[in-house]
Amino acid sequence: MLNTLQLRISQHQRLSALRRKLLRLHKCLLDNERVTYEQVRGQVSKGELLQLVIHHTQFAWLHQLSELVVQLDELLQADEPLTAEAIAAITTDIQTLLTPDQFGSDFAVKYDTALQQNPDVVIAHADVAKLLLADNQ
């Protein structure tokens, strides 16, 4: 019984850490996209930025990452225990999404560009990758 409880706590801690790292990556990507937007259209307030993130096509590619954070939240707050299958599925989805590719999906292309432009994005990406790699070992 104790081993099962320890396993659940460990899984919850790992997913919580992954969530925090993904939020940091999301913030870096959002900041990067904001700078790009403001270079063309001028400075925006926090309220305007929120509206842009929700509605503007330039920020739409970030929605996929937001959705993965929401999925992690749902897993972490679920009444039923985490399953190995659910953890494997979400980590695979994260690894797949965070694969930069200059010829891939819209997200992959923009993610690749952000990695080329911003060292903060590179560091945040490495933090997520390190956590995912540790989970696979």
What does the DSSP 8-state code read for residue 102?
Answer: T
User: Quick check: 94 and 127 in contact, CB under 8 A?
Assistant: no
pLDDT at 82: 87
Exposure letters 41-74 (e unless 16+ CB within 10 A, then b)? eeeeeeeebeebbeeeeebebbeebeebbebbee
Give the pLDDT band of residue 136 (cuts 50, 70, 90).
Answer: low
DSSP labels, 53-101: HHH-GGGGGGHHHHHHHHHHHHHHH-SSPP-HHHHHHHHHHHHHHT---
| Predicted confidence (pLDDT) at residue 2 exceeds the cutoff of 60 | no
pLDDT beyond 70 at 1: no
Q: Give the pLDDT band of residue 7 (cuts 50, 70, 90).
A: confident
The per-residue pLDDT for range 100-130, each reduced to its tens digit, is 999 999 999 999 999 999 999 999 999 999 9
10-43: per-residue pLDDT in tens?
888 999 999 999 999 999 999 999 999 999 999 9
The number of folded domains in the chain is 1
Domain coverage including residue 50:
1-134
- Whether residue 4 has pLDDT greater than 60: yes
- pTM of the predicted model as reported, rounded to 2 decimal places: 0.91
Residue-wise pLDDT for 63-108, tens only, equals 999 999 999 999 999 988 888 899 999 999 999 999 999 999 999 9
3-state secondary structure of 49: helix
